[in-house]
Amino acid sequence: MDFSGFMALALDQARTGFAEGGVPVGAVLVGAEGRLLGAGRNRRVQQGDPIAHGEMDCLRQVGRLRSYAGTILFTTLTPCMMCTGTILQFGISRVVIGENRSFAGNEDFLRSRGVEVTVLDDPDCVALMRRFQAERPEVWAEDIGEG
């Protein structure tokens, strides 16, 4: 499966969120057969919604599925505990992470629960998040619960 193509779509979502004044985290969900099911981005700032993280918005855009088995979630940043819980709740099989330098997420917890986790350490994901953290540190602190 071409990780770079799907991660590029997630990064496009993150860039859109950044341009909107929000937190630049994007996500896409891909079906077991390799078909794009939906995309989303962190919209906490834009919608005033504290749980509108990129992964959560992506799943909202996808809508209900009978089963998430075999699906792959591509996210530009390692998932927080809320998004990790959602991944586990719905049985998403694999998570591909753009970068984990900016935030120490819950990769080990996902792995311990049988989720396959791949970290790409994508330089474009790192650069976008570092720019955001430098330009809007107060929004970043709020997003990760330190604000």
pTM of the model: 0.95
| pLDDT tens-digit map of 114-132 | 999 999 999 999 999 999 9
DSSP string, 103-122: ----HHHHHHTT-EEEE---
Burial class (CB within 10 angstroms; exposed 0-12, middle 13-18, buried 19+) of 76: buried
The pair of three-digit structure tokens given for residue 49, joined into one six-digit string: 């919604």
Amino acid in the structure at residue 11? L
Is the pLDDT reported for residue 97 higher than 80?
yes
Q: Which distant-in-sequence residues (6+ apart) come within 8 Å of 32 by Cβ?
A: 69, 70, 71, 93
Instruction: Tell me the mean pLDDT in the region 65-71.
Output: 96
The pair of three-digit structure tokens given for residue 93, joined into one six-digit string: 């099989």
Q: Percentage of the chain surpassing pLDDT 70?
A: 98
Considering 20, 33, 55, 99, which one is annotated as catalytic? 55
Instruction: Tell me the mean pLDDT in the region 97-121.
Output: 95
Active site residue 146: no
